[in-house]
């Protein structure tokens, strides 16, 4: 089972550690992960037009059983990914270091919002099963 991880990306990859931490948590529960910056752009080695990037992003979300958005840092792309996941009825798990600062809109579309410390205790496969349509 694949999970799509969305996170605010930076050209200097300064949040690579968080990406790998999320991937490791998912892997510990038997889920593979797909991250645009890591798997598509190869940490900045490959470049795509905005149209190609969005098409490939949507294809990756379509191929996933779960969308995990790390929303500690906001980004327009994350909102697009959330909306796409909801429209496709793919379970949406939002992870945030300060969930109280998360927009009411994002709280309203997420199937669940989890503070980082609670993420490791979450049974992610059960979450997916409970929220699949």
Report the b/e string of 116-133 with b at 16+ CB within 10 A: beebeeeebeebbeeeee
91 near 131, Cβ under 8 Å? Answer: yes
Cα–Cα distance, 119 to 64 (Å, whole number): 19
User: Residue 116: pLDDT band by 50, 70, 90 thresholds?
Assistant: confident
Instruction: Kindly report the pTM of this predicted structure.
Output: 0.94
Domain that holds residue 13: 2-131
| Token output for 133 | 């349509």
Give the CATH number of the domain where residue 39 resides: 3.40.50.450
Q: What is the pLDDT of residues 58-96, one digit of tens each?
A: 999 999 999 999 999 989 999 999 999 999 999 999 999
Task: State the total domains in the chain.
Answer: 1
Cα–Cα distance, 85 to 107 (Å, whole number): 14
């Amino acid at each position: 089972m694949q999970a799509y991880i969305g996170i605010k990306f930076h050209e200097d990859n300064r949040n690579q550690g968080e990406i790998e931490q999320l991937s490791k948590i998912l892997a510990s529960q038997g889920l593979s992960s797909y991250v645009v910056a890591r798997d598509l752009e190869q940490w900045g080695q490959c470049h795509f037009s905005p149209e190609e990037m969005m098409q490939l992003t949507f294809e990756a979300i379509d191929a996933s059983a779960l969308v995990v958005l790390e929303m500690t840092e906001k980004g327009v792309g994350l909102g697009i990914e959330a909306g796409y996941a909801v429209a496709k009825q793919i379970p949406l798990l939002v992870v945030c270091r300060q969930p109280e600062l998360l927009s009411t809109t994002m709280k309203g579309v997420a199937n669940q919002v989890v503070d980082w410390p609670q993420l490791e205790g979450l049974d992610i496969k059960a979450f997916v099963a409970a929220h699949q349509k």
